[in-house]
Structure 1
Amino acid sequence: MPTAQIDARFGVPTASPLPWTAVERQLTEAELYWLTTVRADGRPHVTPLVGVWHDGAFAFCTGVGEQKQVNLTGSPLVAVTTGSPAWTSGTDIVVEGRAERVVGRASLDPLARAWREKYGADWAWQAEDETFVGDDGSRPWVYAVRPAKVLAFGKDPHSQTAYRF
């Protein structure tokens, strides 16, 4: 369980830390995430994508040669975000960590099942030793981001909670 610390500089002084269970539930249930990677020249690259929160980490996949995969060969440091565009409701979450490639059927198979359970037949991945395999023959690489730090921004009341792992 991570340690939580509220930062009173960025919210209502009487706000309490958001419970980790609520943050983890939102990370699990979110349908869309935004991944930020770093290009070779230092510029950020941000892209929306689907993924799963599984076993304490965020997992996503990408095709070989896609910009995010190219960026990850130079720097594995990423930020993953999800939340609500509303100002007065919901919670926005930022996961900071290192994306590490997941290989091995024993590690990939539970992630493929998690994708199928969450997104249905459109994401019917099968696990092989090195990649997922799609019905269309695609073979995306899978990455997992174990959080180093998570920020949760509450909106009613406004608050910022940092979780350290």
Structure 2
Amino acid sequence: MTDTTNKPIATRNLDRYGHAELPWSRPRDLLVRDSATTDLTFFVATVRPDGRPHSAAVGAVWVDDTLYFVGGPGTRRSRNLAANPACTVSVRLRGIDLVLEGEAHRVTDTPTLERIADFYRTSGWPATVDGPAFTAPYNAPSAGPPPWHLYRLTVHTAFGVATAEPHGATRWDFAR
């Protein structure tokens, strides 16, 4: 989702207890507000070449209605994404658990890298652009050694389960 006007094209209420459908604005607004200021842990799940799943915690940010995350070229997630971009990203937000399904592709254009590096710096990680990737004095061990590739998630489907009032469970579908 790279367009700030991107909205779900279909919504389905998954709640079995009579709660109303959740608006997409609920998790989206939390991602916008908390991405740079709250310690959110995102988990990216990818598929190994033999079909087995792989999951890893990543430092992700939501910028311009798009989720970005990093991974070293030698990490399992980066190798999996190079072969098959299908993945899910999960996060627990304040009052709602969110799963994003879609495809992640590497970002190499300098303007986007600079914009996202600046966002990471604002949120406390001193990333700098080095060619088509990021470097920094440190990163999580799960990211592998530098340089770190940047990935953009194109969301096809999202699922939200509210853990606080108003409760509910909803599926949002986005244009492909």
Structure 1 residues 93, 20: closer, same or farther in 2, change over 3 A?
same
The unaligned stretches of length 5 or more in structure 1 are none
Paired residue for 2:29? 25
How far the C-alpha of 1:45 sits from its partner, in A, is 0.4
1:40 to 33, 41, 49: 49
2:74 to 36, 57, 65: 65
Contact 2:102–2:154 (CA<8 Å) still a contact in 1?
yes
More helix per residue: 1 or 2?
1
Q: Give TM-score scaled by structure 2 length.
A: 0.80
In structure 1, what residue type is equivalent to 2:150? V
1:131 to 126, 130, 133: 133
Runs of 4+ in structure 1 over 6 Å off: none
Q: Does 1:92 align with 2:101?
A: no
Q: Give TM-score scaled by structure 1 length.
A: 0.85
Q: Does 1:103 align with 2:108?
A: yes
How far the C-alpha of 1:3 sits from its partner, in A, is 3.7
SS in 1 for 2:87: strand
SS in 1 for 2:114: helix
2:152 to 117, 121, 144: 144
Paired residue for 1:79? 88
Contact 1:100–1:143 (CA<8 Å) still a contact in 2?
yes
Query: Considering only aligned residues, what root-mean-square deviation do their CA atoms show, in Å?
Result: 2.0
How far the C-alpha of 1:134 sits from its partner, in A, is 1.4
Residues in 2 aligned to 1:16 and 1:117: alpha-carbon distance in whole angstroms = 36
Residues in 1 aligned to 2:16 and 2:120: alpha-carbon distance in whole angstroms = 35
User: Would you say how many aligned residue pairs link Structure 1 and Structure 2?
Assistant: 156
Residues in 2 aligned to 1:64 and 1:135: alpha-carbon distance in whole angstroms = 17
SS in 1 for 2:21: coil
How far the C-alpha of 1:63 sits from its partner, in A, is 0.6
In structure 1, what residue type is equivalent to 2:101? E
How far the C-alpha of 1:6 sits from its partner, in A, is 3.4
The unaligned stretches of length 5 or more in structure 2 are 1-6, 139-144
How far the C-alpha of 1:158 sits from its partner, in A, is 4.2
In structure 2, what residue type is equivalent to 1:7? N
How far the C-alpha of 1:145 sits from its partner, in A, is 0.2
1:99-144 deviations in Å (ceiling 9; x for gaps): 01001211101111111122x1xx1111233111213682101101
Residues in 2 aligned to 1:20 and 1:97: alpha-carbon distance in whole angstroms = 16
Residues in 2 aligned to 1:92 and 1:4: alpha-carbon distance in whole angstroms = 19
